[in-house]
Amino acid sequence: MIPRTVYDSDQELFRDSVRKFLEQEAVPHHAQWEKDGQVSRELWSKAGEQGFLCPTMPEEYGGVGVDFRYNAIVDEEIAKLGLSGIGFGLHSDISVPYVLNYGSESLKQKYLPKLISGEMVSAIAMTEPGAGSDLQGLKTTAILDGDEYVLNGSKTFITNGQMAELVVVVAKTDPSAGAKGTSLLLVEAGTAGFTKGNNLEKVGMKAQDTSELFFQDVRVPKENLLGSEGMGFIYLMQELPQERLSVAVNAIANALSIFEQTREYVKERQAFGKSISHFQNTRFKLAEMDTELTVAQVFVDKCLELHVEGKLDVPTAAKAKLHATEVQCRVIDECLQLHGGFGYMWEYPVARAWADARVQKIYAGTNEIMKEIIARSL
């Protein structure tokens, strides 16, 4: 691999701390969490104590005030260790930034310290049963009644859905205005009329709590509106590049880890009296995967640099998400094949990574939507 230059020595020290924390606090428990359908709540509190949640948040709210590379390091180390149940990326990279970027000062003071410390877990509720990538097709409504919005509707496939104490809800405050009628509201768990459905049983990411959310006449204070009414769709478009970069960072880190494990495995696996690493097919497959991963890592690192400089545009982020997740799925599928029958056994990391990776081409906007975004820019 080409040496990476996107991180400095201080950031690599931070990486060491994150890795040691995860090896101690998460790796020994992840198999049980897969059976439980969610990670332990205690993990969030411990991560908050160590400064691993929302490191980009300003110091005045309890954050560290560093750049997004620190978030990326947390994402990478979680991905390398196959800890797909840990929803720190959704929390730190995606939902909490909405509070910082669009919340009033009183909302920031109220929620950011708790989100940074791990006292509160967050989620963002965009997807609905009838509206996935088509955000303009949302049916959830929030109609102003005096000093409160009355929220009605349902959401599905919500990451951190079972554990979240604070949810950014995307709803129509003016159902007749299309995309221009979309707004973002902060809703606390436990609010009357807000209920959580079952923890959804998925093909992969079995330790990640993914839930349906239901809102029936939920009364949300007017001051819980993020930014201005009717600007929700624009806010979502502004924040999605970071979300898609986060997915790309995760994809390459995970694929690289599985590739390295496979490279070692083929040296040990025997067929026809010798290690399968001696077969031309194996060597060629490894060469192809190494090439794809090298190219993808360089591109994603460049996108990370651009993002830190405030220069990552929507089409480029779409390219990163599209390419990285396609590479991830191809590489892990080839790695599974090289493991033979053992690759299909859940006890092997490659099997779990194969199941976990598939959703990467679906969420944060499907890869078909990424192609549409890129095509429109040409």
> Whose structure tokens read 């960072």?
249
Which of 243, 305, 309, 347 is flagged as catalytic? 243
Query: Helices in the chain by DSSP H: which ranges?
Result: 9-25, 30-36, 41-49, 68-80, 88-89, 96-102, 105-117, 232-268, 280-308, 314-339, 349-357, 367-376
Query: Helices in 26-138 by DSSP H: which ranges?
Result: 30-36, 41-49, 68-80, 88-89, 96-102, 105-117
d(CA 75, CA 7): 14
- The structure tokens listed for 242 are 């970071």
- Non-local CB neighbours of 236 within 8 Å, separated by 6+ positions: 126, 135, 170, 182, 184
- Non-local CB neighbours of 65 within 8 Å, separated by 6+ positions: 56, 57, 58, 59
Angle, to 10 degrees, between the axis of helix 232-268 and the axis of helix 314-339?
Answer: 30
Angle, to 10 degrees, between the axis of helix 280-308 and the axis of helix 68-80?
Answer: 160
Is residue 243 part of the annotated active site? The answer reads yes
d(CA 121, CA 273): 53
- The structure tokens listed for 6 are 């996107």
**What DSSP designation does 66 have?**
-
Catalytic residues: 243
